[in-house]
Chains A and B, each alone.
Chain A
Amino acid sequence: MINKKALGSTLLLTAGFVLHINAAVAEDKALAASGADSVMLGNTCAGCHGTNGSSFGPASPSIAGMGKDTLVDAMKAYKEGTRSGTIMNRIAQGYADADFEAMGDFFSKQTLLVSAQNADAAKADAGRKLHKEYCEKCHVEEGTKDEDGAGVLAGQWMPYLHYAMEDFQSGAREMPKKMQKRIEKMVQKEGDGAIDNVIHFYGSRK
């Protein structure tokens, strides 16, 4: 299989055949699975995401209880650069798909420990209604359950949710088409504060 990066180096390298072979080998090497098991891999993430994936905040997302496929897709997107991040892109490049599967196995089995956040009660109340109307279809059970790759929103750290929404809206992160429509409709009908309200609703989970 010819992958994009290896092809890139073929086109770029004019220094000769030997160099090109080396580049291709390096590429293959980077893609091999690490061979480490799910616990070993999962434990390396705890420093930033919390022990077993439940983050103590104030911003790093919890990844405990994330659906396996959601996590795998997120890691692949970070690795390929199709999803923006401050640091995950650099980290994801160190693993192969099999590693992502192992991480997905580990974190999908963990129970999310929710930390209390300073959510504004009035905003959260308004957010609950907005959620029901515009988001519940995909972010089911008030955003507590990851179904079909939409992630767990309830109990997630609010600064992270703000960053995610900012990136979706600026185009830095690709937003699912149907979600985009819902968001646009919500903002249009309910005003700019709507997103903030929904985020406070997710942050109000105890």
Chain B
Amino acid sequence: MTQITRRNFLKLSASTAAISFSGIPFIAKGEGKKVVVVGGGVGGATTAKYIRMADPSVEVTLIEKNADYHTCFMSNEVLNGDRSLDSIKFGYDGLGKHGVKVVIDEVTAIDAATKKVTTAKSGDFTADRIVVSPGVGFKWDAIEGYDEKASETIPHAWKAGPQTALLRKQLEEMADGGTVVICPPTSPFRCPPGPYERASQIAHYLKNNKPKSKVLILDASDKFSKQGLFTQGWKELYGYDIEQNGKNEGSLIEWRPASGGGKVVKIDATTKTVTAGEMEDVIKADVLNVIPPQVACKIAHQAGLTNESGWCPVNKQTFESSVHKGVYVIGDACIATDMPKSAYSASSQAKVCATAVIASLQGKEMVTPAYVNTCYSIIGPNYGISVTAVYRLEGETITQVSGGLTPADATPEQKAREVHYAYSWFANITHDIFG
């Protein structure tokens, strides 16, 4: 069935030539070479594992500050009580089985020139290559009244774990008739559909437990990811009137865009009040969730890997830093235009990066990369939607070549299936990262 097209024929003859020139195939190994990975989240753990899977002769050390990792993905289901916090908790034993040396400690400095990584308690590590995947950091000075201290009582829950538990507790303690205020940040931020999935999951909880309450989204933007599908779902499940952005009586969700008074001006953490919009409306929240604007996590700044945007510019074929040779940045912290900041993106970038690191250690040329992203969002029971994209490197950009949203006319059966596939994605990606 396979046709020998002109292109295949050229490829065939080229590879034949390569073999006859070199005689026996030359297997270069990264023997004795060392890679240090900073950050054991989605990007870091995946890179460490995939380097070892492709070339077990490379010594890989992963340094992560927390002994347990809580996934942000599916953490919105912890908020509504459908899922336990333990079900999103993962450890590092699986990586040990792949021969990754795991060090639980905080990296305090990265010296890109000498390839030295310094930790708080475990001393220094030197490496031939360094991979950095530290995730996002928060701009604590961006919203008046909301800083790191305030987040101890007003959770962002944009890094999962204790923050998720705190927000869940506050939702449980809230009396019926209360208002849950969610403040999504300006772009770019981790997981663009995340705040709206969160609003959906909380609305689902309110509908079943505190039906006189509502969720108010005070948005820093005028539009959002998968907006059409979300608002359709809110209409079907939570009484949302699309024309009125949910201002109608009985809607469990109201969305106030930036241009409609949604832009947060300041927060008062002690009274849980938000001042928003040009008119400086004062809104009293019963539960307040502020998601601050984001930049690359602190260590990326310390290492000098960021540019004026606050994120890390990279070569998109290899994820090698555009600033420092031999240091690679992946995941939320890097600028991977047009890929969004998501777990699937970080995982996909990690595999490209692992291949590039090995190629560079072996003195080989990097092959053509391939990337995929998918974000599932669960709006309610049996109601899942998704956005997906296949990308190719075209010039300086990772360009989308296919994908898109769940069709607007998807049947209830298809949306139910998407929930089961979302859970499957969670099971498979977490195993791919940590297993």
Residues of A near any B CB (own CB < 8 A): 30, 33-37, 39-41, 43-51, 55-60, 69, 86-87, 90-95, 98, 101, 157, 159, 163, 166
Contact = CB atoms under 8 A, between A and B. Distances in A.
Contact of B368 (A34, A44, A47): A34
B191 to A, nearest CB: 15
B7 A98 contact: yes
A56 B427 contact: yes
* Interface range for B: 35 or more
B9 interface: no
A131 B424 CA distance: 27
B424 A40 contact: no
Interface stretch (B175-183, B260-268, B399-407): B399-407
Most chain B CB inside 10 Å of its own CB: which residue of A33, A34, A87: A87
Nearest to A157: B424
B431 A86 contact: no
Give the 6 A-B residue pairs with the shortest CB-CB distance, closest first: A94-B390, A94-B402, A60-B424, A93-B402, A59-B420, A36-B370
Given A45-B372, A60-B421, A95-B390, 14 more contacts: A33-B7, A46-B347, A48-B421, A55-B424, A56-B428, A58-B424, A58-B427, A59-B420, A86-B417, A86-B418, A87-B386, A91-B390, A93-B390, A94-B402
B311 interface: no
B420 A44 contact: no
Contact of A90 (B402, B414, B417, B423): B402
Given A94-B402, A95-B390, A40 B370 contact: yes
A130 to B, nearest CB: 25
A159 B421 CA distance: 10
A86 B369 contact: no
Nearest to A101: B2
Contacts of B410: 86
A56 B414 contact: no
B367 A48 contact: no
Interface string B404-435: 10100010011001101101110111011001
A55 B2 contact: no
B316 interface: no
Interface in B1-27: 1-2, 7-8
Most chain A CB inside 10 Å of its own CB: which residue of B370, B371, B404: B370
B70 interface: no
B388 A98 contact: no
A47 B374 contact: yes
A96 B386 CA distance: 23
Given A40-B370, A87-B374, A90-B388, A48 B424 contact: yes
Contacts of B432: 46-47, 50-51
B351 interface: yes
A48 B390 contact: no
B348 interface: yes
Interface string B260-298: 000000000000000000000000000000000000000
27 contacts: A30-B401, A34-B392, A39-B54, A40-B367, A43-B50, A44-B348, A44-B372, A46-B428, A47-B348, A48-B424, A48-B425, A56-B424, A56-B427, A58-B423, A59-B423, A86-B418, A86-B421, A87-B374, A87-B418, A93-B401, A93-B402, A93-B403, A94-B390, A94-B403, A98-B8, A101-B2, A157-B424
A48 B417 CA distance: 14
B351 A57 contact: no
Given A30-B402, A91-B388, A94-B402, A43 B423 contact: no
Contacts of B427: 55-58
